[in-house]
Structure 1
């Protein structure tokens, strides 16, 4: 449906002039301003495929007063499969290093609007920032912030890694999807003042893989000098830190499988392999990745963006010390029924061997073996599962969210950073969620976006708006402003829960011990510790 709007021109000083939109309501009252698809880096195409993103040159201008750059659409979409593995190539464009910018109407407060740097989800395999609709949130709630949502390279384009590739060309790097996000964050830091934002008041956040990305962006930011640090607060919604990413050796095994599927000879030099891969159309690369055993292209422990022993820093107190020193606050939590959505992403066949194989697409082998022993010690289907597909959804949700989130917050609390943590749990969903998720799935992964983004692309009823406002949204606005919240919890491991009845209770975490057991067994094989010492 077409959204009513009028043109909106903005002077970005030395960056030139851009034209976007002012969204308006039925009475022509302005709701918010919007720019879609503003480049934050040079195109990563041709010889720059799999290279680190290149910043815009200092002289780069988006447009002139007479001919402003027109940004009224959205970000280009990195080549990707749909959640059901269908391919819609008409929407793809490797030139996707762009961002969408949402701005409240009116004059900004002294110092500028607070800034939310929002990273979209999609298992790091699919997704884009164009689906969010912030008109209602920015016009109806106290949550007045500039929201900058970047597109970034996904799947094989963002996370292909191997020692061979890095040797083939000095510009090639693992984790370029994370480097994209970081460059977009730095672009935000340097340019948000031209949009009326406060560069000293930036919150990073994301949902699902966006939350996982937020953890890695926070970890990277905590590792740089104070003069280069950007992050002041973080939102990790429905995802935790994950495990220490796979080693370079395991990334090489995935790379070799890719070459085999594409029938690229192993005997070629590294430079020849890279050259052949760069000549292939995106569709062929995506189709090949879907056929692979190791079909999930995720982060690699490269010692650069992802440090060796990163998760060990959480256990040892290094992470907590840096968060305390910089005063970085964190909202982190989950939905009650995350597993329904998780179990539908490339599920295994209905047997334990297939589940084991599916886990290996995401996680190091030693971790997968340990998880199988811990969750299914007798090799039988758990009593709370009807099928192995359901069992996969539950274990996947535990590792992505429930268990490792608890390991992280427990360690941060143990090392004195508990006062910076605000935990939540969602057990209620708005009626508009019925348009996207079966009611039988309950409060599953993604249903609470209607809470955080005030209905997002759908509308909340008046009753639901009152509930959401009191339960979370007023606190959300305070958090972005850097103000104290009325969270209500009595200690750091307490959880603020929105119950199925729509009431808020602050309670003990009944799943804490279970989550810590999983964290501990993974720590013993190095999956949450120092990968240099892990036998993989």
Structure 2
């Protein structure tokens, strides 16, 4: 087994994973610590070391609210350890490989975690790369800066470092990806066969990296899980970039709240003090959670870049869970619904109201639709309008999720399945769930290898056919309690609303 590997900064040593055929390298530095004068700067090169560096444990997580304190579903599910090490020195990545030598050129997955750009870390138990590595994938999980330390924008930064004034968390991801390009051959990976993937804010990050033309040639395909949002009712600005001016005003308010006037003063503050004060300010609505159109890393809305063909055009897999981020028409009764529909759809209001789904009423409102589903399908149709469109594969995750909290297919529930890490979860999963997870991980591995999820599962059985989602053939892959089921789009309201996404 390949237990040591060469990197540009020195040799690293990994440990056997639970499966000794896999080697896990944890806590490899891909950039210099972003501390002191490097705070709120683009990531700088890592320093060299002598001898062999033991990479046996995850590095500290990015500065964020202490995990595992609350009783929300995410603290119960995987943010379980309030004593997990945390540090501003956080630019490290992890590698899982089943290569026996550095000459095997296996396909590579580069993973960006989610958490609204406020929370999350590569050490989350569901991100264990071992099951994918068993399928011949070299898995890399990349850490990045979060919250005010990762996404601050301020006029002083814009003046003093115009080449990299903001979007530091995204620049960390980019630096990690480029490190992989330069170094992954030493771990048996193919630097010319990389897939970038992420969920939630990680999916939004994949969108941002695809929209950055500087990344041309750095990856061959992409996976966007619950990371694109669209609404046919009120505009949904989640993950939509802000202007430098808008974001800079928030930065000025943060400096005021921190009691500093200059960037120099702010760089001298303790990271934990910034974390604490930012957490207070965020509770009042001052949240750094979107990328900024800085004219360098980000030049336009990534959704627009996808629709108009300006993104880095590679095959994409994307989708959502069934119960996450629903959009509604807020109306007190049927009469108000009619008036709201006229406001949203004008002359086509009567057509909208003719769909049975439009009359569905819940405690939150009328006509519920999934914002991630509309967002993903909208950009996929945009790609389909391009010359020689790349294949885009849509999925919806809708199995039963066990537990006495009856959670439904909540946001992030699919992560246990794609990584096939259900055994690390406390939920009472049964055989059907493990069968589904194996299928989902097989589809994912096939896509990472070739850009096409179709083929055979790990047991040599042919997987149900998964066709691309196009304007002429609205094909979906449904991940259900009975397994993967190929389907055609059934919701006629969704088809109508796709022309109205804002």
TM-score by length of 2: 0.78
Are 2:150 and 1:158 equivalent residues in the alignment? Answer: yes
Structure 1: 5+ residue stretches without partners: 1-6, 265-271, 343-350, 353-369, 523-536
* 178, 203, 212: which one aligns with 2:195: 203
**1:61-460 equivalent positions in 2, closer than 5 A:** 61=49, 63-64=50-51, 68-82=52-66, 91-104=85-98, 106=100, 111-131=104-124, 132-134=126-128, 137-138=131-132, 143-169=135-161, 173-220=165-212, 223-224=213-214, 229-240=217-228, 244-264=240-260, 272-292=261-281, 293-297=284-288, 298-308=290-300, 310-319=302-311, 322-323=312-313, 328-339=314-325, 384-386=361-363, 398=371, 401-416=372-387, 418-429=389-400, 431=402, 434=403, 439-455=405-421, 458=424
> Equivalents in 1 of 2:388, 2:478: separation in Å?
21
Q: Name the residue aligned to 2:489.
A: 508
> Equivalents in 2 of 1:306, 1:200: separation in Å?
24
> Equivalents in 1 of 2:324, 2:159: separation in Å?
40
User: Residues 43-76 of structure 1, C-alpha deviation per residue, up to 9 Å, x if partnerless?
Assistant: 110111101101236xx24x41xxx211111022
Report the CA distance between 1:310 and its aligned residue: 4.6
Secondary structure in 1 matching 2:410? coil
Report the CA distance between 1:144 and its aligned residue: 1.8
When residues 188 and 417 of structure 1 are mapped into structure 2, their CA distance, relative to the original with a 3 A threshold, is same
Report the CA distance between 1:78 and its aligned residue: 1.1
Higher helix fraction (1 or 2):
1
Q: Name the residue aligned to 1:482.
A: 450
> Equivalents in 2 of 1:290, 1:490: separation in Å?
42
Report the CA distance between 1:462 and its aligned residue: 4.7
Report the CA distance between 1:458 and its aligned residue: 2.1
Report the CA distance between 1:512 and its aligned residue: 3.2
TM-score by length of 1: 0.73
When residues 514 and 302 of structure 1 are mapped into structure 2, their CA distance, relative to the original with a 3 A threshold, is farther
When residues 285 and 383 of structure 1 are mapped into structure 2, their CA distance, relative to the original with a 3 A threshold, is farther
- Asked if 2 retains the 8 angstrom alpha-carbon contact of 1:133 and 1:457, the reply is no
Q: Name the residue aligned to 1:525.
A: none
Report the CA distance between 1:299 and its aligned residue: 1.1
> Equivalents in 2 of 1:158, 1:14: separation in Å?
25
* 476, 485, 488: which one aligns with 1:495: 476
> Equivalents in 1 of 2:269, 2:211: separation in Å?
34
Report the CA distance between 1:444 and its aligned residue: 1.2
User: Residues 195-234 of structure 1, C-alpha deviation per residue, up to 9 Å, x if partnerless?
Assistant: 11111110000111111101111221xx1385xx211010
- Asked if 2 retains the 8 angstrom alpha-carbon contact of 1:80 and 1:155, the reply is yes
Secondary structure in 1 matching 2:445? helix
- Asked if 1 retains the 8 angstrom alpha-carbon contact of 2:69 and 2:82, the reply is no
When residues 214 and 457 of structure 1 are mapped into structure 2, their CA distance, relative to the original with a 3 A threshold, is farther
Report the CA distance between 1:107 and its aligned residue: 5.5
When residues 499 and 416 of structure 1 are mapped into structure 2, their CA distance, relative to the original with a 3 A threshold, is farther
Q: Name the residue aligned to 1:528.
A: none
> Equivalents in 2 of 1:111, 1:21: separation in Å?
19
Alignment length (residue pairs): 440
Are 2:36 and 1:46 equivalent residues in the alignment? Answer: yes
Q: Name the residue aligned to 2:235.
A: none
> Equivalents in 2 of 1:77, 1:115: separation in Å?
23
- Asked if 2 retains the 8 angstrom alpha-carbon contact of 1:23 and 1:135, the reply is no
Report the CA distance between 1:417 and its aligned residue: 5.6
When residues 55 and 408 of structure 1 are mapped into structure 2, their CA distance, relative to the original with a 3 A threshold, is same
> Equivalents in 2 of 1:383, 1:197: separation in Å?
50
- Asked if 2 retains the 8 angstrom alpha-carbon contact of 1:424 and 1:497, the reply is yes
Report the CA distance between 1:42 and its aligned residue: 0.7
Report the CA distance between 1:138 and its aligned residue: 4.2
> Equivalents in 1 of 2:39, 2:253: separation in Å?
19
RMSD value, Cα: 3.5
> Equivalents in 2 of 1:89, 1:463: separation in Å?
34
Runs of 4+ in 1 over 6 A off after TM superposition: 83-87
Report the CA distance between 1:193 and its aligned residue: 0.3
